[in-house]
Homo-oligomer: A and B are copies of this chain.
Amino acid sequence: MKKPSVQRQLEDFEVLCREAGLPVTVQRQVVYEDLIRRCDHPTADQVFETVSRQMPQISRTTVYRVLETLVELGVVRRICHPGTAVRFDGRHEPHHHLVCRECQKVIDYERSALPAVPLPKGKPRGFVVEDYSIQLLGRCAECRKKR
């Protein structure tokens, strides 16, 4: 799985917006670029904080709204997280997550490190299953040190 360049991803994003009939605003571009450049799983406020450094007049509301739009477009995911704020992930390639049971940190884990899971056939409980992600639950190094 080759990782596309940031430039390439931004171009694709522009095409996608046009296809969806959405104006390509600088706010949408800046927020999306921030998300694909960073490797953590930021909250909306964390994105707002970094983005407002290069674009001080951007509104917090806009960042929240743009993030929702990106999720609807399918270029960004809300990740499943045990904490108190929604977190976003701009990675395209599917991957798993290491979740610390104490501090609730979430770290990416290469998909290739685990055998593939066959998706269920049919529609369990009415769900059409399109993809999957494994959460590996445990303790991170820092939390283990504390004990």
Contacts and interface: CB of A to CB of B under 8 A. Distances in A.
B104 A124 contact: no
A115 B113 contact: no
A9 to B, nearest CB: 21
Interface of A: 78-86, 97-101, 104, 107, 109, 113-115, 117-120, 123-142, 144
Contacts of A128: 138-139, 144
Contact of A98 (B83, B84, B127, B138): B127
A122 to B, nearest CB: 11
A107 B127 contact: yes
Contact of A100 (B84, B127, B134, B137): B127
B132 A136 contact: yes
A126 B141 CA distance: 5
7 contacts: A80-B80, A109-B125, A117-B117, A123-B141, A129-B138, A130-B138, A131-B138
Contact of A139 (B98, B109, B127): B127
A138 B124 CA distance: 11
A134 B136 contact: no
B118 A115 contact: yes
A109 B124 contact: yes
Contact of A80 (B107, B109, B135, B139): B135
